[in-house]
A = this chain, B = another copy of it.
Amino acid sequence: MEKRTTKSGLPKELSVGDVARRSGVTVSTLHFYETKGLVSGYRNAGNQRRYPRSILRRVAVIRIAQRAGLSLSEIREALKTLPDGRPPTMRDWRRMSGTWRQALQDRIENLTKLRDQLDLCIGCGCLSLTDCPLRNPGDIKGKSPQII
C-alpha cells in the first residue's frame, strides 16, 4: 500500500497494515477496535479495509485515553461525539480531552491520597490499628470491614 499519494506526497488512503505500522498498534488490534466500534473505515473492491488519514489521529487519541485510565467502552462513548471520517475541530477536541483530563486528575488524586496514607502508616507501623485509614478507605462502598 501507500502508493497513491496526494500532491503533498502523503498517501490518500491507508490499508490496515499501513495504519498498524504508523500508529504503533497491531493489525489484530485494529480489527478488534473495529468490532468494538472504536474505529471504522470502508472496504475496497476486494473487501480490504481502507482508512482515511484521520484514522491515525483517532488511534492516537484512543491510546492516550487508555493511558489516562479509560476503558475502551468509555472511549467509544466519548468518540461518538466526534466526527468519524473527518478530523475533529478544535472545539470537539477540547471538550473531550477536558473530560479526560478530569478523569485523569481524579485518578491522580486518589493515588496521591493513598500514597500519603501509606506514608503515615509506614511511619507508625500501622495496619494494626483499628482506625487505620488504609484499612477502610472511604472510596470502597458496601459492607465495610469490621474492627480487626
A contact set with B: CB distance below 8 Å: 21-24, 53, 56-57, 60-61, 64, 67-69, 87, 90, 93-94, 97-98, 100-101, 104-105, 107-108, 111-112, 114-115, 118-119, 121-122, 125, 127-128, 134-135, 137, 140, 142-146, 148
Contacts of A93 in B (CB 8 A): 122, 125, 127
Least CB distance from A3 to B in Å reads 16
**Cβ-defined partner of A104 (8 Å) among B104, B118, B128:** B118
Q: How far is the CA of A120 from the CA of B134 in the complex (A)?
A: 34
Query: How many copies of this chain sit in the oligomeric assembly?
Result: 2
Are B125's CB and A100's CB within 8 A? Answer: no
Other-chain residue from B56, B111, B140 in contact with A111 (beta carbon distance below 8 A):
B111
- CB of B24 within 8 A of CB of A143, answer yes
Can you give 30 A-B contacts (C-beta < 8 A)? A21-B143, A22-B145, A22-B148, A24-B140, A24-B142, A24-B145, A57-B127, A60-B127, A60-B148, A64-B134, A67-B137, A68-B111, A68-B114, A68-B115, A69-B111, A90-B125, A93-B125, A97-B118, A97-B122, A98-B122, A101-B115, A101-B119, A101-B122, A104-B111, A105-B115, A108-B108, A108-B111, A108-B112, A108-B115, A111-B111
Residue of B nearest to A98 (CB): B122
